[in-house]
Amino acid sequence: MKTLHPAVFGGILYRRDSEADQKQAGEFNIGSIDLVIVDLYPFEETVARGGSEQEIIEKIDIGGISLIRAAAKNYNDVLIVSSQNQYQSLFDLLKSKHGISELEDRKKFAALAFDVTSHYDTAIFNYFNADERINSFKSSVPQGRVLRYGENPHQQGMYFGDLEKLFTQLNGKELSYNNLVDTDAAVQLLQEWEGTTFVIIKHTNACGVAQGASVLEAYSKALKADPVSAFGGVLATNRAINEETAEEINKLFFEILVAPGFTKEALELLRSKKNRILLKQNEPLQSPRQFKNLLNGVILQDTDIKSESKNDLKAVTRKTPSEVEVDALLFAARIAKHSKSNTIVLAKAGQLLASGVGQTSRVDALKQAIEKARSFGFDLEGSVMASDAFFPFRIVWKLPIKLE
């Protein structure tokens, strides 16, 4: 209760330019407080480490929040420092201005203070509303960085999030808006498999996906699916890059390579291009929810973490697929899941052969996939097809397309 004492809040809130406030402060022997520094209880950290409910509740700060709000409200007279992250800024300010802050400085720190308190309250609300009994959307991401531009050069862009927690950048220029979008698509797709896998992404769609006994084999098979589209693409794998693989990858012009590790020799070779972005992935991507703004609101949904297994399949035809074909179908279905509709994926076990994506007609998507597969020398005999299509009723489909 000591921080909630009237002498403390009176010293913060009384207005120095108000005769009435000054009179009351003198009457109750309240001294002025011109600088307030607060670090809130670690509520989010306690939730993140799996603390008990009692531990979490105890970390809901009451006095600290009250002090921050009071000081920020009276920014005309009081300077509020609401986070350890602001200590250096405070030190630089006091040193450069000989211990004196100006109104503009105090107003900036007040804005930072309300940013801290709003984020803190959002975290508490989302904890209590985990069962979603209250239909209210609240999201707060305190870390932000300005990007070179948005999707196009005439658009401003920003990224909010702790990117350094997910990746360690080992080489290359700053990530752009489009780089981030494609990297997300690559990592999301890659997480569908545990075995050695390599994916190549272009404009969020897979132009190469393969598995192999080694990362080199997986890369070589992935590149065969569409070596043209791979030019300037985003590459990602779930295995460390060794020198042998780096020598092959180095022959391709690409924007980004994501991997859980790089050998010393591989890193030295791949750093030969100064703008080439190399990202070491530190941990899996965890995004339980997805949201976007549209119309005059926001839509929210669970992230699609469902991937079909053999137990989900039921043959409804007289001819049933072999085990090899089932494996190929499941592989293709996971690629289709991450491709733009309408999509058709042609594959064999552990290798994408070709895909048709983003077409207004699924027939066009199939034509595109077949033509692409043939143009890169693939024999489609024995391949499987996956699509995002569904059939609302029994249908016999006769397409004017022949595989011969």
For the annotated catalytic residues, the residue numbers are 73, 203
**CA nearest 212: which of 234, 193, 231?**
193
DSSP letters, 61-119, are -SHHHHHHHHHHHTTTT-EEE-SGGGHHHHHHHHHHTTT---HHHHHHHHHHHHHHHHH
Question: What DSSP element (H or E) covers 176?
Answer: none
Show the DSSP H helices in 97-192 as ranges.
Answer: 103-128, 163-166, 177-190
Question: What DSSP element (H or E) covers 225?
Answer: none
Residues in contact with 276: Cβ distance below 8 Å, sequence separation at least 6, in sequence order: 171, 172, 254, 255, 256, 257, 270
**CA nearest 225: which of 250, 194, 202?**
202
* C-alpha distance from residue 143 to each of 161, 183, 346 (Å): 5, 19, 41
